Structure 1
């Protein structure tokens, strides 16, 4: 991988390549740093899932109130990306990352001392508001620091980490809870935020502001102008639609799979083992992307990802219609869904943030928010269908994925009609 010289003026001396040769060790550390920053939000989101089973009794609260600790995090995590993205374009990536990590770390430290559910809700909202910076700024930083196929490869590494984070964080959170108590998970996140902050200061190149002859405007007006400019890009909205609809189908699976598996006699203690097959396949798909990025074009990756995903959903639905209502008949075909998403998402993310390089942060923010909103919609729609078999869930997932195919068709039409 080669870092473009014009994008890395603040790299430390040891990262510069002698005689024009890249320092691969420095680049690997940079990739590791970026992946860790983006993983933080998912870790903080899912590490408390085991603890939530006991918070209702421990804190004397209703389960509905406990669920708000998760919903509040997700909403803040999505909404704040709209703020951090444009601000990182204006004031720099490192500054916004440090602000977000400081907010998330401080909230985590406070959370270790909270003993009521309302306090936990507030703390979790603040955690989500801080962690949002890590995801959106990390994505924009990939756009700043890498180019061409290397950018897609790095996004593939990010995708592998994103697929691994939820199951690992849930396991780690459960073990910490059992051995040290649920408060220790807040301490763990506070320490992790501090470590990541040090990583930003020592290993994250500063992004210079883009020179501009336009007069200075208030940052809110600048933010609105950025989103308006992105919306006018012919390819931007189709890319965001493809990405968001794909995530909606995946969230529908995550929320609907436990309901279907329950009818197959799979209890809570074993549901995770079946669901894990799809995120692990997603990691495999991202690995394939990292190997294919230099040989296959972006459009090929998008079409292949959607095609493989549709094949998995279609096979799962067909087996359900044929009466093969077993856990393995339900889950194993969806390995193709994980692989397809692994092929699709890195290329789509890269294209989304790369259309207007000067607005990479704004693009990453808008894409992130739409992912969260459509993912929430996917999870909600699952409640409208029966779950005695996977056919209803398959119909929901197929609907979102076919809509993504339609968005890809719109993308190709717009690009074909746009003058070169």
Structure 2
């Protein structure tokens, strides 16, 4: 049972083991808004296109605009939470998220749906960026890595459960029903934050700088080569995953004849890979160092992407393609856990702004690659494979050029 946590006790004594788990569940669920809002309706993309009479590229714009909203909103929500605390922006964001989700369900055209998805992304970004900043409020060093890996368990359930739920919903309802469920999820998040989540940033630790101070903080972060190296490495790995998210439903269902329910199961297995790799990194990083696991994750993504491209070019079947996709998606857990911890180590007073940039780059890059995957139509896997392989190579280059191997953990 989730109980109310007193913010004064939390600040004075730190979270107990029970409170640590409870906070992880709440923050993990809130940070999973992105996967929920994307993955749950992926099995319905072909049906949504048929409903509006729209092609694959146009339908994928609903994903692109959601990602743009999810990315740009973090630039506002993160710094605001440094000034006003974490709870109030979270509550406002959940209200807007729930309302926009309900409006999506009743959208009469693909154009309006795309616009509403952008608003939904803006609102959802509040949960994504503030959940990470709240973790930094409570932990630092190796404890930050361990707790973030715990957060990844809850967050990773989103890619596992969301497509399964979406696939099963399509048995009993249309694509509109998916957005009704997201509306209900927004209301549940709002009630949980209001009744159970304490304020993690006390008033005396909040930023007192205005817009000029926020811009100065962003400028310092953008000029920090090591921080940007971690951010870009994570961003390109995430871009590879978004290429998979955007293209896999068409590739697997249209080319290989996979049913929406089987596609949901495949998606869930890949989501399990995110959780497992994140837990391995979180539990062993204190012994072997975050840098080693970060490099391992980047190599896994790149190797999986290159082999995927070679498999598609050689006309390989479904099984080798699924193996390569599993490697690429699994790397997200390892890279996400370690790159976040390494990038946030020295960002205590600017946790919200740093979290915003760390959240912006993956989504910005993801929104750029999503339309590229659909340029070849819905009957070829080559664009998806090319984007995934290219993103993996860029992640390695970002690390080598901006992060000094063997540097401080």
State the match for 1:349 in structure 2. 340
Judge conservation of contact 2:47–2:175 (CA < 8 Å) in 1.
no
Matched, 1:338 2:325: no
Change in 2 beyond 3 A, CA 1:121/1:275: closer
Deviations 1:176-202 (A, max 9, x none): 454355544444333322222222233
State the match for 2:270 in structure 1. 278
- Trace 1:156-167 onto structure 2 (pairs within 5 A): 156-167=149-160
State the match for 2:364 in structure 1. 373
- Distance in 2, matches of 1:119 and 1:396, equals 28
Cα distance, 1:282 vs structure 2: 1.9
State the match for 1:290 in structure 2. 282
Bigger drift between 309-318 and 378-387 goes to: 378-387
State the match for 1:359 in structure 2. 350
- Taking structure 1 as the reference length, the TM-score comes to 0.81
- One of 394, 399, 403 as aligned partner of 1:408: 399
- Distance in 2, matches of 1:67 and 1:384, equals 10
Q: Which runs of 5+ in 2 are unaligned?
A: none
Judge conservation of contact 2:45–2:249 (CA < 8 Å) in 1.
no
- Distance in 2, matches of 1:154 and 1:314, equals 32
Matched, 1:93 2:86: yes
Deviations 1:348-401 (A, max 9, x none): 022223332111111111121211121233334446789999787555433322
Cα distance, 1:116 vs structure 2: 5.0
Judge conservation of contact 1:47–1:169 (CA < 8 Å) in 2.
yes
State the match for 1:328 in structure 2. 319
Q: Indicate the RMSD between aligned Cα atoms, in angstroms.
A: 3.6
Bigger drift between 157-166 and 195-204 goes to: 157-166
Matched, 1:193 2:186: yes
- One of 232, 240, 243 as aligned partner of 2:231: 240
Cα distance, 1:134 vs structure 2: 0.4
- One of 202, 206, 212 as aligned partner of 1:208: 202
Judge conservation of contact 2:271–2:329 (CA < 8 Å) in 1.
yes
Change in 2 beyond 3 A, CA 1:171/1:277: closer
Cα distance, 1:111 vs structure 2: 4.4
- Distance in 1, matches of 2:156 and 2:150, equals 10
Cα distance, 1:315 vs structure 2: 4.4
- Distance in 2, matches of 1:65 and 1:393, equals 16
Q: Tell me the secondary structure at the aligned position of residue 105 of structure 1.
A: helix
Q: Tell me the secondary structure at the aligned position of residue 125 of structure 2.
A: helix
Change in 2 beyond 3 A, CA 1:146/1:179: same
Which of the pair has the greater relative contact order for Cα pairs under 8 Å at 6+ separation?
2
Matched, 1:11 2:4: no
State the match for 2:98 in structure 1. 105
- Distance in 2, matches of 1:110 and 1:386, equals 29
Deviations 1:123-154 (A, max 9, x none): 33322211110001111111111222232123
Judge conservation of contact 2:74–2:125 (CA < 8 Å) in 1.
yes
- Distance in 2, matches of 1:246 and 1:290, equals 18
Judge conservation of contact 1:320–1:391 (CA < 8 Å) in 2.
yes
Larger Cα Rg: Structure 1 or Structure 2? Answer: 1
- Distance in 1, matches of 2:309 and 2:287, equals 33
Cα distance, 1:344 vs structure 2: 1.6
Counting matched residue pairs gives 402
Q: Tell me the secondary structure at the aligned position of residue 80 of structure 1.
A: helix
Q: Which runs of 5+ in 1 are unaligned?
A: 1-8
- Distance in 1, matches of 2:307 and 2:112, equals 46
- Taking structure 2 as the reference length, the TM-score comes to 0.83
Cα distance, 1:280 vs structure 2: 2.6
Q: Tell me the secondary structure at the aligned position of residue 295 of structure 1.
A: helix
Matched, 1:306 2:298: yes
Judge conservation of contact 2:205–2:349 (CA < 8 Å) in 1.
no
State the match for 2:163 in structure 1. 170
Change in 2 beyond 3 A, CA 1:233/1:23: same
Bigger drift between 338-347 and 169-178 goes to: 169-178
Bigger drift between 165-174 and 325-334 goes to: 165-174
- Distance in 2, matches of 1:342 and 1:116, equals 36
